[in-house]
Structure 1
Amino acid sequence: MPAISFQSVSKSFKSGRGSVKALDGVTFDIEEGEFFGLLGPNGAGKTTLISILAGLARASDGNVSVLGHDVQAQYAQARRHLGVVPQELVFDPFFTVREALRIQSGYFGVRGNDAWITELLESLGLADKANANMRQLSGGMKRRVLVAQALVHKPPVIVLDEPTAGVDVELRQTLWQFIARLNRQGHTVLLTTHYLEEAEALCNRIAMLKQGRVVALERTSDLLKAASSNVLRFKIDRELPPQFADKARVTGRIVQLPAHDAHEIETYLATIRQAGLRVEDVEIRKPDLEDVFLDVMSAKHQQRVAA
């Protein structure tokens, strides 16, 4: 039995210009114990899909289940098995951190949960904030509390929707160590993130959405192996020649270009020298998940779904 099952899920919204299709026949399963990544650009439908999974929105067509429980017909059972960390910082300003976690436990009928609450506080670096009012916390600390609230009833399925957006490196490390530990203990994890290095390091399998459709669904290692080229990386102080504009990935001074062979690398560097530019820190590296993601999202890419 899959931990999460999406079967032909579609969702349309009405707008002033007619109907907008946010999801279009999304189908895939996430097995128990997987660490699964759901990736896509803004507007691809990731949060809509998670909202349907969490019972915050209804699918126009299709079915979604959590450990065999339909999220609409058996919503109470489905939600007991699910812990969701949302993108938005949502908190009750009238309670301390520990009180908020006790109240969250009560929503699921869990009593005598103080030992687990204490472990959550310690594991997420919140022990010294246990008696602080939620209003007194920084944005990063509030994010930690959201994670604790999602885990307070020990759900077997954990959904993390951009959990590290706008937080510091320390929290990211603390969070991933803890979530990886829960995953090793058997919890299923579904992650959406724009930090693709996190997805590459953590996720066993990945689905990519584009305009509401699944355009890739494979093991992370297979996605990386299928990349067709290496990457030439260097630093430069001026703009690249215009013929590189549609190929290059530029971040400040750092330029990265797909390179299929030594001849292509020599051609790149010769063209740059002829333009009177000087490059620094030249290196050739293997493609990472960001390279694969950009390739998948390109208009030329065809759907890739592993059998």
Structure 2
Amino acid sequence: MSGRAIWDIVLVGIIFFLLVMLAESIREKPPESLTELYFSDHLSLPDMVNGTVQVSFSVRNLEHTRIAYRADITAELYNAKNNYKNISLDSVLIPLDSGNLSVFSKSYDIKDDFTKLKLKVRLSWDGGTREISFWAKSASQILYYKGLGNGTVECLSYTNYVQSLEKISITATGTDAQGYPIMQVWLDGNKLAEYSVSGTVRFDVMASAGDGTHYLDIAFINDYYDKASGEDRNLYIEQVFALGRPLRPSFIETGKGIKAFDCLDEAKGLQSEGAARYRIVVGGPR
């Protein structure tokens, strides 16, 4: 075989290879999946669960054809040593016409012991998958904070006994650093008042709480520190009284938003965002 013949064969091979590569590059790609999956209450997912977890999610079919979806709901349960087991909670078939939305909501009891869990929803169908998840902590004494979510009072062991909780008197000191600290007063998960604390000030907060156990939280919500200038905005709770009787904090923790009420802190002061927390029994021992 002559050298030119060999060259012609090589050239044909190269051309064939290039044509194959060109065909692969222009082959129509499958359309991307347009299915939507999200937690219906994604702005207020539970931070705490007490043996029961509420699952609420939405599926929207934007695939231009009817789809038979399958939703698998599982939970990864972690113990104190961070070991975990995976349990199946449910499997649901969700047939949806194009453009339609389906909302699924159900509560599940979890009998296994755990310290935290990861709740997962996996959506699958012929052509794609979606998955969403959230984390929650196990808590035995959950308290709902209006507008924030679930906190817990399980760490508030010390109890203050008073005969009345009609008025709470708080003396606080605020230090200025590009603005004064903001102090919020919460009772049983409801915000009673909010103050800007300039210097040392006494605040009288009307409560009107009846006999029984109540939970008072005094929160600092706008910490600020400038490392370059040394400016530091702080809130100090000097004294708290109910009907002239001093109240002692049951627990002090740091955290922003609902994290100030989750019993997961060992801080010893309010030099950052957080809350001084009080367990109070009205009508108890004198």
Instruction: Using structure 2 for the length normalisation, give the TM-score.
Output: 0.23
Name the structure where helix makes up a greater proportion of residues: 1
Which of 1 and 2 has higher RCO (CA within 8 Å, sep 6+)?
Answer: 1
Name the structure where strand makes up a greater proportion of residues: 2
Q: Which has the larger radius of gyration?
A: 2
